Chain A
């Protein structure tokens, strides 16, 4: 019996020591954020205090739960255990691993989503934009799940994103909205393979996006007589520098599970060798950003490439182009002042494509409906764009992205 308690006593001593050491290290880690939460409470007005106190408690709890000393070590431990158990689902089926090791977002469903509401909104946008003289095209970027190529283990849920995209494109064609389906383009080129996407992220690789830019320039030239300047030169990869950052990238899904589970991968950064001259303006949720100079100095935020924390979402290298997803961005290309003025209403897949596409435009405007506070209808009516491109990837065909031309929005606009 003596032995029985001895081992428990040693356990207790180790536990208490670990608990206090972790407590001290965590206090040190979390202190700046806690200070901010508390000072927010102090600066709130007397009438707001009770509500703010409740928020303060919630914030303190959240901060204490998310800012943990050695957080990524714990995430790696978790990931390693999942790997040991050969688990293909993690995070309660938010992320699943395909047989080739690539990670995919998914959810349980029995068929494609209903696309009626978003189709109607898109149709309204088309009518409105055309009434002010803009061409409208829906550009479908590819889903990482490739039919016949991507293989999930038996029973791993599939979200029917491609089938939803097919339904939506059918609706677009029925409503006479021009479409471009990059899935088809890539199939024709033989590039619709898993290698075109990052293993640990849902985005396509920058190299793939560059290829998409080439096809896109061809399509708009053919369809809208876009007259993309110096197209042969601008779409030739030999006129670009390519820098490969070896084992330096963890995408959004990889960051959730850690390197031991997902594996770090290479990131390729592509930018023009030739001279360029830009002005970039972006309005995020809190602040405006401006930059000017060459493509890689203004349209690209190369600070994201120089080290940084591989686990930190703020340093996601994919967001090197246009700083990711600001609510509103305006890119002015001084080399082609007489070029076309276009608007992209888009999600993150279109960002590198639009960055390269800006080489042939005078102005490119970008709106991400998730973060844009204004009314998209007003922008379309006032700016008189030559072309309006709407582009959301198959998984984003939801009303969260198609916020424009909703019944509520129309009432607000009128």
Chain B
């Protein structure tokens, strides 16, 4: 089930909210309700694969107990941790990589193996819940968290529906205290609703509209030569699509979490305003980056090694793993390698400390990001190379054609909105409205030199207060109208 589906909005969400708050007298009941809702959420989207999720819960719970309760010798603890990691990676391998591996093997075989026998439907969210399970095992092994004895609590951690299918990848250390210690408040709930509505808008209005442009232009590439302007338009449309699709989902997940009293980690922080690729990765899919940092990069030695070569090696391992995590396609690997190359040279030459104008930095980052998304979006490396060639081949392909004019004319509203909402404009306006206009700043002459600022209420503040809720609800009606029209399409990250 998708958050941006009518069945979720008008059936699942009201039912789960109703049940949850009906049982608000008992935290245990509330957790049980959330667990049932989470399993139902998964079963409604993937009735055949609910068994995989339950198997993962049971096995990882068991390994958690074995790792946590084995005192001596340490080797046995490592043995169970290894088994747990092997189990999770094997699960991921079978469903995500096996068919591609068989295809690769077939390349060298005289009598090829039937790939169909090794192709299984990918359970939605497997990459996300598997990574969370691995992090739990490692954290228990390290002793940074206590073992979870209660199966229901562990099941809730792994299957909590707001983060189940697309993250944010939440560490057990962050989730566990909230299982019993969370508190629902009106403030939290209200913020949750607003987060959810913003996320829904990002997905339904912006990502889906950009998807039309990107999909059409990428498929036109198969039919005819793309002029440079059109090729760039397609690449930029996909750049917007993937951001608003994934960050929209994350906002909805965070919003839903807040409605049930949970605080999930932020996953995006305006990545397209970055001035380097290193900065981009501090703002893009933050929880995946954190996972690789904590459970791969740092264990490999991280950046603290004296030998710079080893730091580069560690970076290479992390970025190749990040690429492969997205799927068994050479394009993902190439995308990972591109990011590695950029981050490695930025580190070696201290790019972020160089005296380079911000505009140049920003252009460089955007260029790499957009080219990276072309690799990411393409079906194969040759197609990606063809596309990238179209983006620069002024001589043979020309610059513009009627399709380019038409896409711009038909979708300019969405291009403008995407550009504006890629920047922290809304946050700044919100802060401005909340604080007001600074009229006076006083700094006391005596230590500790306290600063006191006086703000004046923004004109039309009251009007804004009325307009905001009305506007949000009208926008919700617009979202629903797009959903009723069937302009729904699945989230990009569902395939991972």
Taking beta carbons and an 8 Å cutoff, which residues of A are in contact with B? Answer: 1, 3-12, 14-16, 18-20, 22-23, 26-27, 53-54, 57, 60-61, 64-65, 68, 71, 74-75, 77-78, 81, 85, 87-89, 91-93, 108-110, 153-157, 256
Contact = CB atoms under 8 A, between A and B. Distances in A.
B409 A153 contact: yes
Interface string B191-220: 111100100000000000000100010011
Contact of A11 (B48, B404, B472): B472
A16 B223 CA distance: 48
17 contacts: A7-B465, A8-B190, A11-B473, A12-B189, A16-B17, A20-B18, A23-B15, A65-B483, A71-B484, A74-B480, A75-B484, A78-B481, A81-B481, A88-B410, A153-B409, A154-B409, A256-B485
Given A7-B469, A64-B10, A92 B487 contact: yes
A-B interface, 7 closest residue pairs, ranked by CB to CB distance from nearest = A155-B406, A155-B402, A64-B7, A12-B193, A4-B434, A8-B190, A77-B481
B359 interface: no
A20 B14 contact: yes
B481 A15 contact: no
Contacts, number: 148
Contacts of B13: 19
Contact of B190 (A11, A77, A78, A108): A11
Interface of B: 1, 5-7, 9-11, 13-15, 17-18, 43-44, 47-48, 186-187, 189-194, 197, 212, 216, 219-220, 223-224, 401-407, 409-410, 413, 430, 433-434, 461, 464-465, 468-469, 472-473, 476-478, 480-488
Given A4-B434, A54-B48, A65 B7 contact: yes
Most buried by B among A1, A22, A53: A22
Contacts of A61: 1, 5, 7, 44
Contacts of A71: 484
B405 A154 contact: yes
Contacts of A57: 43-44, 47
Contacts of A23: 10-11, 14-15
Contacts of A18: 473, 476
Given A8-B191, A9-B190, A61-B44, A19 B484 contact: no
Contacts of B461: 3
Given A11-B469, A12-B193, A109 B223 contact: yes
A155 B10 contact: no
Contacts of B186: 9, 12
Contacts of A1: 434
Nearest to B5: A65
- Max chain A CB contacts within 10 Å: which of B187, B190, B404? B190
B410 A89 contact: yes
Nearest to B436: A3
Contacts of A75: 481, 484-485
Q: What is the interface of chain A mostly: helix, strand, loop, or mixed?
A: helix
B468 A74 contact: no
A9 B472 CA distance: 12
Contacts of B405: 154-155
Contacts of B402: 154-155
Nearest to B457: A3
Nearest to A71: B484
B325 to A, nearest CB: 29
Contacts of A88: 410
B193 to A, nearest CB: 4
Nearest to A110: B223
B58 to A, nearest CB: 21
Given A11-B469, A12-B194, A15-B476, A64 B485 contact: no
Given A61-B7, A74-B480, 18 more contacts: A5-B190, A8-B191, A12-B194, A14-B472, A18-B473, A23-B10, A23-B11, A53-B47, A57-B44, A61-B5, A65-B488, A75-B481, A85-B413, A92-B212, A93-B216, A108-B220, A110-B223, A155-B404
A309 B9 CA distance: 27
Contact of B406 (A9, A15, A22, A154): A154
Residue among A91, A92, A156 facing the most chain B CB atoms (10 A cut-off): A92
B432 to A, nearest CB: 11
Nearest to A6: B465
Given A4-B430, A11-B190, A57-B43, A153 B406 contact: yes
Majority DSSP secondary structure for residues of B touching A = helix
A60 B7 CA distance: 9
Given A15-B193, A64-B10, A93 B212 contact: yes
Contact of A14 (B44, B413, B473): B473
Contacts of A154: 402, 405-406, 409
B312 to A, nearest CB: 45
Contact of B11 (A26, A53, A110): A26
Contact of B472 (A15, A60, A77, A157): A15
B10 A26 contact: yes
Contacts of A8: 187, 190-191, 193-194
Nearest to B259: A12
B476 A74 contact: no
A3 B436 CA distance: 11
Given A71-B484, A75-B485, A89-B410, A65 B193 contact: no
A12 B485 CA distance: 25
A54 B410 CA distance: 39
A108 B216 contact: yes
Contact of B194 (A11, A85, A155): A11
A322 to B, nearest CB: 29
Given A10-B469, A61-B44, A74 B219 contact: no
Contacts of A7: 464-465, 468-469
B194 to A, nearest CB: 5
A8 B255 CA distance: 12
Contacts of B469: 7, 10-11, 14
A65 B488 CA distance: 10
A198 B365 CA distance: 52
A64 B410 contact: no
Contacts of A26: 10-11
A52 B144 CA distance: 46
Given A4-B434, A19-B14, A74 B485 contact: yes
B193 A16 contact: yes
A48 B437 CA distance: 68
Most buried by A among B220, B406, B483, B486: B406
Nearest to A8: B190
Contacts of B197: 11, 15
A5 B189 CA distance: 10
Nearest to B431: A4
Nearest to A155: B406
Q: Which of A3, A16, A93, A153 has the most CB of B within 10 A?
A: A3
Nearest to B197: A15
Contacts of A27: 11
A93 B5 CA distance: 22
A68 B43 contact: no
B492 to A, nearest CB: 16
Contacts of B433: 3-4
A170 B406 CA distance: 33
B156 to A, nearest CB: 23
Given A12-B190, A14-B473, A87-B410, A77 B478 contact: yes
B56 to A, nearest CB: 21
B207 to A, nearest CB: 14
Query: Which interface residue of B193, B212, B403, B487 has the most chain A CB atoms within 10 A?
Result: B193
Nearest to B189: A12
A198 B207 CA distance: 34
A54 B49 CA distance: 11
Nearest to A61: B7
B6 A64 contact: yes
